[in-house]
Amino acid sequence: MQDLFSSPAPEPDLAHLEALKRSLHEHAHRYYVLDAPTIPDAEYDRLFKALQAIETQHPDLTTPDSPTQRVGGKPLDQFVSVRHAVPMLSIKTETDTEASGAENFDGRARRELGLDESAPAVEYVAEPKFDGLAMSLRYEHGVLVQAATRGDGEMGEDVTQNIRTIGQIPLRLPGTVPPVLEVRGEVYMRRDDFERLNEKQRERGLKTFVNTRNAAAGAVRQLDPSIAAQRPLSFYAYGLGEVTPVEAGGPAFGSHFEMLQTLKNWGFPVSELVQIARGATELVAYYQFIGAQRDGLGFDIDGVVYKVNSLVLQRRMGFVTREPRWAVAHKFPAQEQLTTVLGIDVQVGRTGKLTPVAKLAPVFVGGVTVTNATLHNEDEARRKDVRIGDTVIVRRAGDVIPEVVGVVLPAEGAERGALFTMPRSCPVCGSAAVREAGEVDYRCTGGLFCSAQRKQAILHFAQRRAVEVEGLGDKLVDQLVDCNVIKTLPDLYRLGLTSLAGLDRMADKSAQNIVEALEKSKQTTLPRFLFGLGIRHVGEATAKALARYFGKLDAIMDAPEEQMLLVNDVGPTVAQSLRTFFDQPHNREVVAQLRACGVTWAEGPPAPVLATPFSGQTFVITGTLPTLGRDEAKDLIEAAGGKVAGSVSKKTTYVVAGTEAGSKLAKALELGVTVLDEQGLKELLDDHS
Active site residues: 129
Q: Are 185 and 240 in contact (CB under 8 A)?
A: no
Rounded distance, CA 267 to CA 459, Å? Answer: 46
Q: Edge-to-edge, what's the strand order for the sheet holding 674-676? A: 643-645, 618-622, 654-657, 674-676
Q: Decide: helix, strand or coil at residue 628.
A: coil
DSSP 463-531: STTTT--TT--HHHHHHHHHTTS-SSGGGGGG--HHHHHTSTT--HHHHHHHHHHHHHHTEE-HHHHHH
Rounded distance, CA 557 to CA 551, Å? Answer: 12
Q: Decide: helix, strand or coil at residue 20.
A: helix
77: Cβ contacts below 8 Å, ≥ 6 apart: 223
Q: Which residues pair with 276 in a beta bridge?
A: 125
Q: Are 359 and 126 in contact (CB under 8 A)?
A: no
Rounded distance, CA 687 to CA 689, Å? Answer: 6
Dihedral sign, CA of 101, 107, 108, 113?
positive
C-alpha closest to that of 340 among 370, 367, 376, 380:
370
Strand duo 133-140 + 180-188: pairing: antiparallel
C-alpha closest to that of 465 among 640, 594, 603, 638:
638
- Cα pseudo-dihedral 112, 115, 116, 118, rounded to 10: -150
C-alpha closest to that of 94 among 331, 289, 335, 302:
331
Q: Are 423 and 345 in contact (CB under 8 A)?
A: no
Q: What is the DSSP letter of 122?
A: P
Strand duo 600-601 + 643-645: pairing: unpaired
C-alpha closest to that of 467 among 653, 362, 597:
597
Q: Are 106 and 280 in contact (CB under 8 A)?
A: yes
- If residue 162 lies in a helix (H) or strand (E), which one and from where to where? helix 160-163
C-alpha closest to that of 275 among 307, 228, 231, 229:
307
Length of the chain: 689
